[in-house]
Amino acid sequence: MIDYGRPVVEVARELLGCVVRHGETAGRIVETEAYHHSEPACHAHVGLTPRTRVLFGPPGRAYVYRSYGIHALLNAVAEPEGVGAAVLIRALEPLEGIETMRARRGRTATRDLCSGPGKLTEALGIGLDLDDTPLGDPIEILPRDAPAPPVAVAGGRIGITKAVDLDWRFCVAGSPWLSRPAG
């Protein structure tokens, strides 16, 4: 069982190697980013609002939001209730339901299916309707069934302009499935 009620940076590292499953599709987490209300890149930085209430709620829930008006992005709420924090799931290694993923994404190259946060939600069929649902049903994040993979601190998070100095992006070292190379 994953303990989400801990510091978000710890949870972001621990999720590497875990499996996200939704319906018949699944993939192993190879890249994450941590976000905490104390820093301005986090949605919770503005405080409690209708949009951010999920981030301040109990840990172990899905925070799914729309990015750039196009993509739904999946986050795992972390830290104790009352602290606004979540881990963005950035990339997966596709494991199950690959043909379904290809159909949803309109792509044939397996490398293109889950190598970014918008790509993986599209491939797994995760939409805004799954915001504020428990991570266990219908979206599952299953603990690793093998020892922890080697972790690379990949440095700054991607696609943000605030708090870029925080090295809160984590990747499985050497993974070919990342959204961008580590380092």
- Segment 48-90, tens digit of pLDDT: 888 888 999 999 999 999 886 678 999 999 999 999 999 999 9
> What integer pLDDT is reported at residue 31 of this predicted model?
96
Cis previous bond, 138, omega within 30 = yes
Q: What are phi and psi of 10, to 5 degrees?
A: -65, -45
Q: What is the pLDDT of residues 9-27, one digit of tens each?
A: 999 999 999 999 999 999 9
User: Cα separation of 87 and 98, whole Å?
Assistant: 24
Distance CA 178, CA 136 (A): 24
Contacts of 66 (CB under 8 A, 6+ apart): 72, 73, 128
Determine the 3-state secondary structure of 86 from DSSP. strand
What pLDDT is recorded for position 16? 95
Instruction: Report pLDDT digits (tens) over 33-45.
Output: 998 888 866 678 8
- Amino acid at the residue 91: A
Q: What is the mean pLDDT of residues 149-157?
A: 70
Instruction: Please indicate whether residue 49 or residue 182 has the higher confidence score (pLDDT).
Output: 49
pLDDT at position 154 is 67
- Tens digits of per-residue pLDDT, 84-118? 999 999 999 999 999 999 999 999 999 999 999 99
* Residues 20-52 as b or e (16 or more Cβ within 10 Å = b): bbbeebbbbbbbbbbbbbebebbbbbeeeeeeb
Q: Which domains does the chain show, CATH number per domain?
A: 8-172 (3.10.300.10)
Question: Is residue 145 very low, low, confident or very high in pLDDT (cuts 50, 70, 90)?
Answer: confident
